Chains A and B, each alone.
Chain A
Amino acid sequence: MTELSDLQFALLVTLPVLLFLLVIVVFPLGYAFWLSFHSTRFVDGARYSFCGFDNYIAAWQSPGFWNAVAVSLHFAMVSTVFTLGIGLMIALILARIGRGRGFIFSLAFLPWAISDYATGVIFRYVLGGRSSIFTTLSYLFGFNTRVNLLAEGIVIEGLALGFAWHLAPLVAFFLLAGIRTIPVRLYDLAELDHCGPWSKFRYVTLPYIRYSLFVFTTISCVFALKTFELVYLQTGGGPGIASATLTYFIYKESILHLNLGYGAAISLYLLLLFVALSLFLYVVWGRKEV
């Protein structure tokens, strides 16, 4: 039997899969690209007519679109800060208790295994005014007001709490794995140098987890821009349009209003935003870490 070269072997095993990827990447993106240059009307089935850049221009001039961009970026930023901050805290705390406590570790990890939509439903009840824990507390202590963390002005931070609850465990466990590779004698040396807890974190722990922090910042930003069910189930984009992220805006235009071309054009803007944001993070931060 003749031997295959690496490339031939790679082609052989991946060709069917590449075809599949072609179907799942190129087909939907190509179709969305085609749709974005057409307007649709639904009389006797769908009618498409070519309309050039109209959809892109319409989106560019629409206040709803710019609101969605602002909401999405705001949400991505707050979510990432919460996720990384809470993830780091969980990691630092879990690093100090032994490995033997499987129950605590399992519980701490559980939220990541729970779906986005269940997280949305749960946090709708935990944070929403009528049923929120903060309402109960306010009545318990005699303030007697409803506390709604999903109200105008604070809704994005409220949503970000749910997002962080779901994603922070993943971040925590990877940071924890990094922290466990740090030789204990480095901490002993730091002790000799009379380093306080902050200096120990800054000069001993941080260098070992900086790269992971960068990767998870990127992952968190991308997932936050991508999430739909969290917003859909928790606030439905409201109150008003205060939490209408780009994904929710696309859902509203494409699925509810059936403006397929317009929705597709906004999807492509969103794709651009992904690429731009990842590149930005890489240039200002990631380049130094690799």
Chain B
Amino acid sequence: MLRRACLWAMVALVILWTAFPLYWFLKLAFDVPAGAAVFPPPFYPTKPTVASLATALGFRYVDKDGQVYLPSGLARQVRIGLLNSFILALSVTLITMPVVTLLAYTFGRLEFRHKNKLIMAVLLVVALPPISIIIPFYMLFLHLGLVGKLGGLILVTLTVTIPLLTWMLIGFFRNLPRVEALARIDGLSRMRTLITIIIPMAKVGLAVGSMICFLTAWNEFTFAHILVTGTPATTLPPVISGFLFMSPQPTQLAATVLYSLIPPFLLAYWLQRYITTMNITEPIVR
């Protein structure tokens, strides 16, 4: 009995560690602007309201006391940011997944010369900080007229997602049952084996991969910050840093961050169940 109580106390600690920082910040989204200025900061919203959720998106909000909350100045940016982030994440996922499926399959299941060196090149890109490769891309995009364009940002984001997802899927493909030889005996070509046998077997891994890819693109900050801040191609992350630095509005900042957290909230359940099918801890280079 004591042991059970002890265990649940520890579980409570895990929940507290995870949820409390989120709560402490997101409570601001449900407070009035004056409440965010109260010192010392209170545990609950001083006057619970959804005003900031509305004003951050550009709606006028009138509460039941007749208090009027005007739309935020960055609301237009938030709206196009949400839309652009969604387009970016979806396009990047649609381009990345077919490419990494081929790559990870090849690296995970075929033997050929120089394989390990190629894998190391992929891993090197996973390790590269975006901040050190942004200048070359910025210069290139300046020539191509891609600065401030969503297409340019999609291209650059692919340089993050393709290596990352290849790395995550190599171990997954390697651990699938070895059935190619059987399929080949039945007379299927390599491409057909891949499409009709391997990919259906791999659908869990590919689904998890797509979610990680979507989130990675949705969450990408550095490239977006430098390439599209303040343009019509802006995504949500630079808008959020705008709320933080250009017009410090804690309640609207929290409301915008809350909107940006919708995909992580929706995907966390599937990700926690299937994340370990990715085998990223297995030795990749053998």
Contact = CB atoms under 8 A, between A and B. Distances in A.
Interface of A: 1, 4, 6-7, 9-11, 13-14, 17-18, 20-21, 24-25, 27-29, 31-32, 35, 86, 89-90, 93-94, 96-97, 102, 104-118, 121-126, 130-133, 135-136, 138-140, 165, 169-170, 173-174, 176-178, 211-212, 215-216, 219, 222, 225-229, 232-233, 247, 250-251, 254-255, 260, 263-264, 267, 270-271, 274, 278, 290
Contact of A174 (B24, B136, B250, B276): B276
A130 B248 CA distance: 14
A93 B11 contact: yes
A84 to B, nearest CB: 13
Query: What are the 4 closest A-B residue pairs judged by CB atoms, nearest first?
Result: A115-B219, A267-B132, A113-B264, A31-B136
A117 B124 contact: no
Contacts of B28: 125
A173 B276 contact: yes
A113 B268 contact: yes
B79 to A, nearest CB: 19
A91 B121 CA distance: 32
Nearest to B42: A136
A247 B131 contact: yes
Q: Which residue of A20, A106, A170, A278 has the most chain B CB atoms within 10 A of its CB atom?
A: A106
B222 to A, nearest CB: 6
Given A32-B132, A255-B135, 14 more contacts: A13-B102, A17-B102, A21-B162, A24-B125, A27-B140, A28-B128, A32-B135, A93-B10, A107-B15, A115-B218, A117-B241, A131-B250, A136-B43, A264-B132
A212 B281 contact: yes
Interface stretch (B50-58, B62-70, B105-113, B197-205): B105-113
A106 B265 CA distance: 9
A281 to B, nearest CB: 13
Given A106-B269, A108-B272, A109-B271, A229 B135 contact: no
Interface string B124-144: 110111111111110110000
Nearest to B260: A118
Interface of B: 7, 10-11, 13-15, 17-22, 24-25, 28, 39-43, 99, 102-103, 105-106, 110-113, 115, 118, 121-122, 124-125, 127-137, 139-140, 158-159, 162-163, 189-190, 215, 218-222, 225-226, 237, 240-241, 244, 250, 253, 257, 260-261, 263-265, 267-269, 271-273, 275-276, 280-281, 283
Most chain A beta carbons < 10 A, residue from B40, B99, B265: B40
A251 B218 CA distance: 22
17 contacts: A9-B110, A9-B190, A13-B105, A13-B106, A17-B162, A25-B124, A28-B137, A31-B135, A32-B135, A102-B272, A110-B264, A130-B41, A133-B24, A133-B41, A136-B40, A136-B41, A232-B241
Determine chain B's interface SS by DSSP, over half rule. helix
Contacts of A225: 129
A14 B7 contact: no
B24 A109 contact: no
Nearest to A122: B25
A173 B272 CA distance: 7
Nearest to A119: B21
A125 B24 contact: yes
B39 A130 contact: yes
B244 A121 contact: yes
B268 A228 contact: no
Contacts of B272: 102, 105-106, 108-109, 173
A215 B281 contact: yes
A104 B112 contact: no
A27 B218 CA distance: 25
Contacts of B265: 110, 113
B136 A109 contact: no
A46 B267 CA distance: 45
B125 A125 contact: no
Given A13-B106, A116-B221, A233-B244, A21 B132 contact: no
Given A28-B136, A135-B40, A255-B226, A107 B19 contact: yes
Given A133-B24, A274-B127, A20 B162 contact: yes
Contacts of A278: 127
A157 to B, nearest CB: 15
Nearest to A4: B190
Nearest to A213: B281
Contact of B18 (A110, A219, A222): A110
Contact of A117 (B137, B159, B221, B269): B221
